[in-house]
Amino acid sequence: MIDPFGRHISYLRVSVTDRCDFRCKYCMSENMTFLPKKDVLSLEELELVSAAFIRKGVRKIRITGGEPLVRKDIMTLFRNLGLYLQSGELDELTLTTNGSQLEKYAGDLFAAGVRRINVSLDTLNPYHFQDITRWGNFEKVMRGIEAARTAGLHVKINTVALKGFNDAELGDMVRWTGERGMDISFIETMPMGAVDGLRSDQYLPLSEVKQQLAQSWTLTPSAYRTGGPSDYFDVAETGMRVGFITPLTHNFCESCNRVRLTCTGMLYMCLGQEDSADLRAALRRDPSRAALDAAIDEAIGRKPKGHDFIIDRRHDDRPAVKRHMNVTGG
Ligand code: SAM
Ligand code: SF4
């Protein structure tokens, strides 16, 4: 699959549910309306759509959400997609999770063929954790991370950098992850969906974070690539890596290889644009899959050049897109 700007699309992110057992303040508002359950694709349908993308050249699938591990029977999807790893049709099956269910599922994930996962963790302070996630349980997440490492999963921590919240402890998080043999990526907060409070009050440019970290750590540009948007640096003191995901300060759209499927079968060709394609309609209309294949081709043909994220007071803190991050996943 090649889009109008010559980019090869080889990476599919699948949001298997928009529901979540946390309510992170930058991701969701306090009172969320979730997608109607009747509109959600079954696990079989999610697999059929994923298989269509694999046939068309996708080599990497990331399962995300909402919180993917709260979806009932989700291991069935992991096990079935894991078969494509065994057959060599897929290079990598991976997961982004808040870690709350890892104690339960880490072993099953490894058995399904998952080797690398991203766990989102914005602070090492249990009180701040409670504040930012509203509903999270810090100790359970810590146990989940340990369970994942014990099961043999390579864990990368994802941390949204938030002004006035975790800016003072980002260096500690580099140390904490480094000591445990984990990489860490920092992420700039993106204006997706309305949240309580102003995005401009929270927004912390990672150019500032990098400068701040460089005072304590020796950072050298790394050749390491995962197919994702993180720009990695080796940390000499820990032997691990720190990544920067900078949708605001450095747009990485020119190398975008990704499209995103929601749990209701909408395909978003860009995280930061409203345009989408209804793959569920195509899937349910034509059991021969011809309509689904044609709908995917048509959608890739209108993948936009990039997003237009801006966060500042002049733009009145308006979200770039109406949907929250939990719909398309990270
Ligand atoms: N629930 C899972 C988790 O938290 O890892 C997967 C879904 S979550 C939407 C995926 C990632 O998006 C998380 O790392 C989260 O911190 C990040 N995220 C959520 N809202 C964001 C926003 N507005 N800007 C930047 N990152 C965001
Ligand atoms: Fe849930 Fe992940 Fe969003 Fe937090 S960031 S509310 S854990 S989907």
Counting atoms of ligand 2 from 1, which one is nearest the CA of 65? Answer: 8
* Range 163-179 average pLDDT: 97
CB of 120 closer than 6 A to ligand 2?
yes
pLDDT at 195: 84
Task: Give the SS3 label for residue 208.
Answer: helix
Alpha carbon of 288 to ligand 1 centroid (Å): 35
Q: What is the mean pLDDT of residues 7-29?
A: 95
Q: Give me the residues paired with residue 248 across strands.
A: none
DSSP structural state of residue 162: B
Average pLDDT, the chain: 93
Strand segments, DSSP code E, in the chain are 11-15, 60-64, 92-97, 116-120, 154-161, 183-188, 219-221, 231-235, 241-245, 258-261, 266-268, 276-278
The percentage of residues in the chain with a pLDDT greater than 70, rounded to a whole number, is 97
Q: Token pair for residue 316? A: 């009145």
Q: Is the pLDDT of residue 311 over 70?
A: no
Give the mean model confidence (pLDDT) for residues 3-17. 96
First CA to last CA across the chain, in angstroms?
22
Per-residue confidence (pLDDT) for residue 160, from 0 to 100: 97
Query: How sure is the predictor about 246, in pLDDT bands with cuts at 50, 70 and 90?
Result: confident
31 CA → ligand 1 middle, Å: 17
Q: Going by CA atoms, what residue is nearest to atom 1 of ligand 1?
A: 67
Sheet of 92-97, strand order = 219-221, 231-235, 241-245, 183-188, 154-161, 116-120, 92-97, 60-64, 11-15, 258-261, 266-268, 276-278
| Ligand 2 contact, 158 CB (< 6 A) | no
Q: Is the pLDDT of residue 201 over 90?
A: no
Minimum mean pLDDT among 44-58, 187-201, 215-229: which range? 187-201
Average the pLDDT over 202-222 and give the result.
95
CB–CB of 58/3 below 8 Å? no
pLDDT of residue 228: 78
**Mutate which of 24, 135, 245 to test ligand 1's pocket (most atoms within 8 Å of Cβ)?**
24
Q: Does the pLDDT value for residue 129 go beyond 70?
A: yes
Q: What is the pLDDT of residue 313?
A: 64
| Averaged pLDDT, 294-316 | 83
Instruction: Starting from the CA of residue 18, give the closest ligand.
Output: 2
Ligand 1 contact via 247 beta carbon (within 6 Å) = no
Q: Which residues pair with residue 186 across a beta bridge?
A: 159, 244
Residue 90: left if φ>0, alpha if ψ -120 to 50, beta else—which one? beta
> Which ligand approaches the C-alpha of residue 132 most closely?
2
Which H or E run includes 173? Answer: helix 170-179
| pLDDT tens digits, 284-304 | 998 888 999 999 999 999 998
| Cα 134 from Cα 127, distance rounded (Å) | 10
pLDDT at 315: 65
121 lines ligand 2 (CB under 6 A): no
Q: Which residue has the higher pLDDT, 226 or 210?
A: 210
Whether residue 35 has pLDDT greater than 60: yes
pLDDT (average), residues 133-147: 97
In terms of DSSP H, where are the helices of 180-314?
Answer: 199-202, 206-214, 279-285, 290-300
Ligand 1 mean position, distance from CA 314 (Å): 25
d(CA 300, CA 1): 7
Q: Which of 20, 186, 187 to mutate to test the pocket of ligand 1 (most atoms within 8 A of CB)?
A: 187
Over range 36-46, report the average pLDDT: 96
CA of 66 to the centre of ligand 1 (A): 8
Amino acid at 99: G
Residue identifier of the C-alpha nearest atom 21 of ligand 1: 27
The mean per-residue pLDDT over the stretch 155-168 comes to 96
179-188: average pLDDT: 96
φ/ψ of 77, rounded to 5, equals: -65, -45
> What's residue 314's pLDDT?
63
Condensed to tens digits (0 to 9), the pLDDT of residues 111-123 reads: 999 999 999 999 9
Q: Among the CATH numbers 3.40.1390.10, 3.40.50.720, 3.30.2270.10, 3.20.20.70, which is that of 11-328?
A: 3.20.20.70
pLDDT the model gives residue 116: 97
For ligand 2, atom 8, name the residue with the nearest CA: 66
Residue bearing the bigger pLDDT, 317 or 255? 255
pLDDT in tens, 93-116: 999 999 999 999 999 999 999 999
- d(CA 195, CA 284) in angstroms, rounded, equals 34
| Torsion sign (Cα): 131, 134, 139, 145 | negative
Separation of CA 318 and ligand 1 centre (Å): 19
Residue 136's pLDDT is 96
Domain ranges of the chain: 11-328
Return the structure tokens found at 230: 């993180």
Cα–Cα dist 313/165, whole Å? 19
**How many A from CA of 47 to the centre of ligand 2?**
23
